[in-house]
Structure 1
Amino acid sequence: MENNSVNYSNSKRIFYLDFARGLAVFFMIMQHAMIMHERTAGEGNTLLGNIFICLGTAPAAPVFILIMGIFFMQSKKSIKENIIRGCKLFAFGYVLNLIRFTFPLLLAGGSYNPGQGPISLLFLVDIFQLAGLSLIFFSAFKKYADNLYILPTVILIILLVSPYLWGFQGHIFIFDPLWGANKTTDFPLFPWVVYFLLGMYLSKYLQKQVLEKQIKKKLILGSLFLATIGIVTISFFPIGDYYRSGLSIHFLMMSFIFLWLPLSDYFVTKLRKKRFDKLLNTIYFWSKNVTGVYIIQWVIFGWSILLLGANQMTDYVAMIIGFIVLLITHFSLKYTKLKYFLPKL
């Protein structure tokens, strides 16, 4: 994509969704920098570490998967075609694990962390596996997206049942992508598929370039409603880590997303009026090339441990590493032929 400018009047892209997803790319890369290189993996008392780890939670993966669900509703592909695409995404997740973790760790002759060696990390369950399984198991739910009650009911059931599934038959690794509870299962299908389903359900309201006032009002009220339920019920549901928490935490993350979407629309409008087109175009570029960005940045982070080691830097140095990885990823996609060698997923 040599020309990165956007013709707003002729484009069919939904810019506030591109803005939200593009910022999610930035937050994700900075979070990965902290996880890979900051001394405490972003879990200590460093201000920057905590900020970027936080920004890499609700504004990142849930936003990715929700927007995937929104755009899934635009697709004209059949259920069979979507299942085949899901299988490709799922399989490529393990290919990426091999490239980003197994190969560099084998060369380094060690493990990233206790229990996370080159072989165990080959079976890491991450976003590609989640996206693939979402398409494989839930493409057929597309026909129910217009029903007022079916998808919300399915979402609620998944959130209630998931904690009872985590770790079930944990000695059989093929169940890890569904409900694994070990260190190498980051995004099990249960409960994370709820964001894909939520995106499908909300799609009919969110596929316009500018959010209508009524939709904004409903999103804000929905955010308050979900936040209230999340706070009131927080003592009744498990609070685990980011990857496995109960209904209350996911309601709070959904509450954030409901608020984040109208805020994204607001920021796009204001930045366009202030003529920050270059900034917006860069963010849109990350969104449009999200798959390529995800692959490249992870390969760089994975191989960077050969040069920099793992979790040996201060939060400020880790932040600088994150910006360097972002720049390398951006320019590799924009100005080289690398994008032509990336898989079409």
Structure 2
Amino acid sequence: MTVRADPLVHTDVVPDTAPPAASQRVFSIDLARGAAVFFMIAVHTLWMFGSREAQADSSFGHWVHVAGQGACAFLITMGFSFMVVRDQRLGSALRRGAVILLVAYGLNVLKFIVPIYVFGTMPEAFIAAYGWHSPLTLTQALYLIGTGDILAMAGISFFLIGLVRHFVTHKYGVLALAFGAVGFSALVRGTRIGYPPVDAVLDLLWGTEWNVYFPVFPWIANILVGMFLGMVYREHGRDELALLRAAGALGLILLIGGGLVTMTDWDYHFNDFFHTGPGGAVYLIGAGLCVFYLGARFLAVPLRHQRGFRAALTYLSRHVTTLYVVQWTLICWAMGLIGYQTLGVWQVAGMMPVMIAATLLIEYAVRRAAGLMRGGWAIGDVPAVPDGVPRGRGQPD
């Protein structure tokens, strides 16, 4: 029996005092990543199916967009896991980064090119949203393939944080780099040289245009803060309460400090969620840490010993990247039936659980079919550590 791990999520966490074969999961981290699965599907369903009125003129749309800011917490958990994974080799981090980049741009082909050129089902309204019309030119098709989302940002970040983990050994050095990344982004954001191939790379690093949704700077700061928390966790003997105390205290400081800075010039510091200035970046990190802390403190206690819930949460956490790929593919392909931004508030609210269920079922089916073709099982009865938390053997996808 084989359980395949997610390439973006390090899950083979080993206690310092445990035997080499042992494995242990951090429940609060699994809780954050597992919850992120539901929020990301809901938000993307709203973006692609919800009408302008449903998104901008309703309380429902407003709160779903607020929930979508959980991307910060997800990146923080990614950085945490990066510091507590068994395999700390630089080469491993570089290989992961390369794999994630391939997945990111392969997803763009599935999202855009397949429904446009293979199925012929992409709504014209979606094409028109870019200011284009069918048929697309080669340049326009390449623009869609080159769109930078959170996976592209994560892939590039793995190259950088691999170097950080290899050369920076003190937790406050890593935290200083997080703030340095925010400050650096303020100096270079939006910089281009006027040569399109190079500008495309620069946009991935610090762009402010809509060809890139998650530029590496300042978003990598979230990952670096997560790495800092991972180092705190390890220094305190892998004490989850120490992790939560550090997350809560740091989150409150950054939330207040970033909020105060942002209020001095809202348009500059928080012009939009994806391309924030330094104040907005710090504020979002603080908000992500506070949400993580509150969720873990108030939900982890009653849910920690629910074996079935933990098993489901562990699965979601381990496979968040493949779930991300499936849900985006499903949503973009479904636009051929539903249309682009056509649903009202109640319709899009009803569509969210449908898309969540469809994503989980399709991801399960694909993973199981792949496992059967390899001569094993993709998922099934999972061996557990003594506290009942399911675990895998740590193979990459």
Whether the 8 Å CA contact 1:293–1:330 is kept in 2: the answer is yes
Q: Which residue of 1 aligns with 2:130?
A: 114
Q: Which residue of 2 aligns with 1:7?
A: none
Q: Which residue of 2 aligns with 1:299?
A: 329
Distance 1:46 1:88 in 2: 39
Letter in 2 for 1:257: G
Distance 1:53 1:37 in 2: 14
Q: Which residue of 2 aligns with 1:151?
A: 174
Q: Does 1:52 align with 2:82?
A: no
Whether the 8 Å CA contact 1:112–1:310 is kept in 2: the answer is no
Whether the 8 Å CA contact 1:48–1:316 is kept in 2: the answer is no
Q: Gaps spanning 5+ residues in structure 2: where? A: 4-21, 133-139, 379-394
Alignment of 1:325-340 (within 5 A): 325-335=355-365, 337-338=368-369, 340=371
Q: Which residue of 2 aligns with 1:98?
A: 109
Q: Which residue of 1 aligns with 2:277?
A: 246
Distance 1:222 1:66 in 2: 12
Structure 1 residue 13, shift from structure 2 partner = 1.2
Letter in 1 for 2:121: A
Distance 1:202 1:249 in 2: 21
Q: Which residue of 1 aligns with 2:149?
A: 126
Alignment of 1:281-300 (within 5 A): 281-300=311-330
Q: Single out whichever of 66-75 and 101-110 deviates more from structure 2.
A: 101-110
Whether the 8 Å CA contact 2:33–2:77 is kept in 1: the answer is yes
Q: Which residue of 2 aligns with 1:68?
A: 78
Letter in 2 for 1:192: W
Q: Of 36, 49, 55, which aligns to 1:24?
A: 36
Q: Which residue of 1 aligns with 2:13?
A: none
Distance 1:42 1:68 in 2: 32
Q: Which residue of 2 aligns with 1:314?
A: 344
Whether the 8 Å CA contact 1:332–1:338 is kept in 2: the answer is no
What's the secondary structure of 1:245's corresponding residue?
coil
Distance 1:209 1:42 in 2: 44
- Cα 1:200/1:339, change in 2 over 3 Å: farther
- How high is the TM-score relative to the length of structure 1? 0.86
- Cα 1:135/1:240, change in 2 over 3 Å: same
- Cα 1:156/1:312, change in 2 over 3 Å: same
Q: Gaps spanning 5+ residues in structure 1: where? A: 4-9
Distance 2:65 2:227 in 1: 27
What's the secondary structure of 2:212's corresponding residue?
coil
What's the secondary structure of 1:228's corresponding residue?
helix
Q: Does 1:85 align with 2:101?
A: no
- How high is the TM-score relative to the length of structure 2? 0.76
Whether the 8 Å CA contact 2:181–2:221 is kept in 1: the answer is yes
Distance 2:312 2:187 in 1: 42
Distance 2:271 2:369 in 1: 39
Q: Of 253, 258, 265, which aligns to 1:230?
A: 258
What's the secondary structure of 1:108's corresponding residue?
coil
- Cα 1:215/1:89, change in 2 over 3 Å: closer
Q: Cα deviation per residue 1:157-183 (whole Å; 9 max; x = unaligned)?
A: 221221332321164223221122221
- Cα 1:281/1:52, change in 2 over 3 Å: farther
Distance 1:289 1:238 in 2: 33
- Cα 1:179/1:41, change in 2 over 3 Å: farther
Distance 1:295 1:307 in 2: 20
What's the secondary structure of 1:149's corresponding residue?
helix
Distance 2:370 2:294 in 1: 31
Structure 1 residue 297, shift from structure 2 partner = 0.6
Structure 1 residue 283, shift from structure 2 partner = 3.0
Structure 1 residue 311, shift from structure 2 partner = 0.3
Q: Cα deviation per residue 1:43-70 (whole Å; 9 max; x = unaligned)?
A: 411122111111011x2x2122211111
Larger Rg: 2
Whether the 8 Å CA contact 1:100–1:302 is kept in 2: the answer is yes
Q: Which residue of 1 aligns with 2:214?
A: 187
Letter in 2 for 1:211: E
Q: Does 1:255 align with 2:268?
A: no
Letter in 2 for 1:270: P
Distance 2:304 2:361 in 1: 24
Q: Which residue of 1 aligns with 2:165?
A: 142
> How many percent of aligned residue pairs carry the same amino acid?
22
Q: Single out whichever of 83-92 and 277-286 deviates more from structure 2.
A: 277-286
- Cα 1:36/1:192, change in 2 over 3 Å: same
Q: Which residue of 1 aligns with 2:48?
A: 36
Whether the 8 Å CA contact 1:79–1:139 is kept in 2: the answer is yes
Q: Single out whichever of 89-98 and 74-83 deviates more from structure 2.
A: 74-83
Q: Does 1:269 align with 2:301?
A: yes
Distance 1:39 1:24 in 2: 23
Q: Which residue of 2 aligns with 1:6?
A: none
Distance 2:356 2:115 in 1: 20
Distance 1:257 1:270 in 2: 22
